[in-house]
C-alpha cells in the first residue's frame, strides 16, 4: 500500500525504523487494553526489554495502517530492528522455545536471560 492511499504508512515506517524494539498494541505498556497486547507487553516488561509502545486505539488510521503495513490482520505486532516478528501467538511460542532470546541476542537487544528462563520454567 502506498503512502498516498494510507497516510499512516509513513508514520509507521518511521517508527519501526527509529526504534530497536517497538510494539504496536491496544493501550500502552503500562496500561494494555486487550489481553493479547497485555501478554506481549508483559513478556517484554518482565524480560526487561527496552521497547517503544504505540497505542493503535488512539488513531483509527494507525490501527488499520499497521495491519496493512505488515499484511498481518491482528494487533499486537512486534518489530525488532525494523523487521516484523509477529503477534501474540508467535511471540508466546518464540518466548517458550527460546527463539525470542536468540532474536534479541542476534540484534543486540538487552534483556534479562534469567527472567526469560523463569517464563519457560513456569510454562514447562
Q: Is 34 annotated as a binding residue?
A: yes
CA distance to 18, 25, 57, per residue, from 84 (Å): 14, 13, 20
The whole-angstrom separation of Cα 42 and Cα 96 is 14
- The three cell numbers of residue 112 are 534479562
DSSP code string of 3-47: TTT-THHHHHHHHHHH-SEEEEESB-SSSBSSHHHHHHHHHHHHT
Q: Which residues are annotated as a binding site?
A: 34
Residues tagged in the binding site annotation for [2Fe-2S] cluster: 34
Amino acid at each position: 500500500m502506498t503512502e498516498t492511499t494510507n497516510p499512516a504508512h509513513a508514520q509507521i515506517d518511521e517508527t519501526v525504523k527509529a526504534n530497536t524494539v517497538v510494539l504496536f498494541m491496544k493501550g500502552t505498556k503500562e496500561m494494555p487494553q486487550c489481553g493479547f497486547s497485555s501478554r506481549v507487553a508483559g513478556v517484554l516488561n518482565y524480560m526487561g526489554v527496552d521497547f517503544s509502545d504505540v497505542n493503535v486505539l488512539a488513531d483509527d488510521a494507525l490501527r488499520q495502517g499497521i495491519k496493512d503495513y505488515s499484511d498481518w490482520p491482528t494487533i499486537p505486532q512486534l518489530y525488532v530492528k525494523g523487521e516484523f516478528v509477529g503477534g501474540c501467538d508467535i511471540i508466546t511460542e518464540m518466548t517458550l522455545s527460546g527463539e525470542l532470546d536468540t532474536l534479541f541476542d542476534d540484534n543486540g537487544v538487552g534483556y534479562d536471560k534469567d527472567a526469560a528462563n523463569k517464563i519457560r520454567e513456569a510454562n514447562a
